Amino acid sequence: MNDAVRERNILLVTSVAHFLAHFGLLIFPSLVLSIQQDWNLPFDRALALGFWMYLLFGLGALPTGVLTDLWRRPQLMIVICLAGMAACSLWAGLTRTASQLTCALGGLGLFASIYHPAGMGLISTGVKRRGWALGVNGVAGNLGEVLAPVAAGLLAVVLGWRSVYLVLAVPSAAMAVLALRLRADGLPAPAAREAEPVRGRRRTVLVFSLLCVAMVCGGIAYRGQTLVLPKWFQEQGGALVAAVEGWTWLPRAGGSVVAATALTSLAYLVGALGQVVGGRLSDRHDLRRVYFGFQACALPLLVLMGQTSGPALLLAAMAYSFFAFGMQPAENSLVAALTPPRLRSTGYGLKFVLVFGMGSLAVKLVGDWERAGGLATAFPRLALFIVGLLASVIVLTLFTRREAIRNRN
């Protein structure tokens, strides 16, 4: 198998798996509105049903990353990821109690946690144009996030929220079968060395730790806005929500859910363009500058989202999504640049433990903020975490000011 075909197959399988992993996790915030009505739960209680899903999605990344590096079969780990997601999605679609749904969603998060360390480890060692490939892969994940809110909202209103999970089980199972055909022939040896941009093991650990602090802050801010945005659009969408409701045949309550989730999807769609731009910039420029620049632009837009309504809210959300999602290729490239190939999946596993594991705290934080002062208070508080991220990147840059940190594959 020649290199071009091998790289194309790697990117195809990992991108579809990335789409399904993000779709599976991002449908829940949109379904909270329907679950809340179906089971007559307060918003914070319905939101809490997804806590273990997000926590295990993060915590499971590190052990699966270590296992991937030890087993050296990332493509088979992706098969396990997809098959497990299919089984847990089916379980979630058949639940009848809150405790059953909590367990099913927890399993979904655990199996989905396999994807990032296995999939991104496979891309970063098996594809030459790392930044571009991570950008394309990021677009696939972003499209999962784009389609999740509107697809979940529409299916939940028409067929019930359980149908969304039953539908998710089908492509996950089918893709698991297709992923079995992915061959790892010709992949770089795990022990292959790559020039380290930071000299000295201790300095490398220190710099990577600073990056971890930044990623924790970013993870909380990211997860928080995904939980808030659908309901915020429902409350503050104004004429936009009314206009979208007018295009549907649904009752007013159902129409507002679909309208809010459709506007969320539209905002996230712009993030796909950000991924492409961020990927290209990550291959051409210093990764620290790209990462810092995108996050600095996202900061005021996140604050603005909490102070606007109607069309202005949509424009602010779209601009925020461009920068918030566009920074991801730079962040993922930084992880790759600061870890040797033989520990690449472990490095990504550690990243996603922090980003999604600690990011799961946003479920509790957003619930507490909404109960105490309304959703508007969430936006400036989430923005403070981006301030922490920017401060960490500044310190990281000062420690590595004499080194160039760029993509090398």
Q: Is 196 part of a structural domain of the chain?
A: yes
Q: How many CB atoms lie within 10 A of CB 183?
A: 12
Cβ neighbours around 390 below 10 Å, total: 17
How many domains, in total, are found in the chain? 1
Distance, CA of 240 to CA of 252 (rounded, Å): 14
Q: Nearest 10 degrees: CA dihedral of 382, 215, 54, 378? A: 0
Based on the number of CB atoms within 10 Å of its own CB, is 88 exposed (0-12), middle (13-18) or buried (19 or more)? buried
Helix 328-337 × helix 344-352 angle, to 10°: 130
Whether the Cβ atoms of residue 140 and residue 120 lie closer than 8 Å to each other:
no
Q: What is the pLDDT of residue 190?
A: 45
Q: Would you say residue 404 lies in a domain?
A: no
The pTM of this model reads 0.75
The per-residue pLDDT for range 177-203, each reduced to its tens digit, is 888 876 544 444 444 445 455 556 777
Q: Is residue 102 part of a domain?
A: yes
What one-character DSSP code corresponds to residue 40?
Answer: T
Helix, strand, coil in percent for the chain, rounding step 5: 85, 0, 15
- pLDDT at position 193 is 43
User: What's 376's DSSP letter?
Assistant: G
How far is it, in rounded angstroms, from Cα 172 to Cα 185? 24
Residue whose structure tokens are 């991108």: 15
In sequence order, what are the residues at sequence separation of 6 or more whose Cβ sits closer than 8 angstroms to the Cβ of residue 256?
234, 241, 245
Distance CA 320, CA 315 (A): 9
- Count of positions (residues) in the chain: 409
Helix (H, G, I), strand (E, B) or coil at 371: helix
Positions of the chain with pLDDT under 70: 1-3, 126, 182-200, 243-255, 357, 407-409
| Phi and psi torsions of 207, nearest 5° | -65, -40
Please check whether residue 277 lies inside any domain of the structure.
Answer: yes
405 is a domain residue: no
Name the nearest CA neighbour of 156 among 24, 25, 22, 255: 255
Nearest to 321 by CA among 146, 191, 192, 193: 146
What amino acid occupies position 194?
E
The string of DSSP letters for 96-160 reads -SHHHHHHHHHHHHHHHTTHIIIIIHHHHHH-SSHHHHHHHHHHHHHHHHHHHHHHHHHHHHHH-
Asked, for residue 118, whether it belongs to a domain, the answer is yes
Instruction: For 240-361, list the strands marked E by DSSP.
Output: none
CA angle 243, 249, 255 (to 5 degrees): 55
Q: Which domain holds residue 204?
A: 3-399
Q: Is residue 409 assigned to a domain?
A: no
Q: How is 314-364 classified by DSSP, letter by letter? A: HHHHHHHHHHHHHTHHHHHHHHHHTS-GGGHHHHHHHHHIIIIIGGGHHHH
DSSP label at 354? I
Cα distances (Å, whole numbers) of residue 276 to 119, 126, 265, 318, 323: 18, 19, 18, 15, 11
CATH number at 335 reads: 1.20.1250.20
Give a yes or no: residue 278 inside a domain: yes
Which residues, 6+ apart, have CB-to-CB distance to 176 below 8 Å?
79, 82, 83, 86
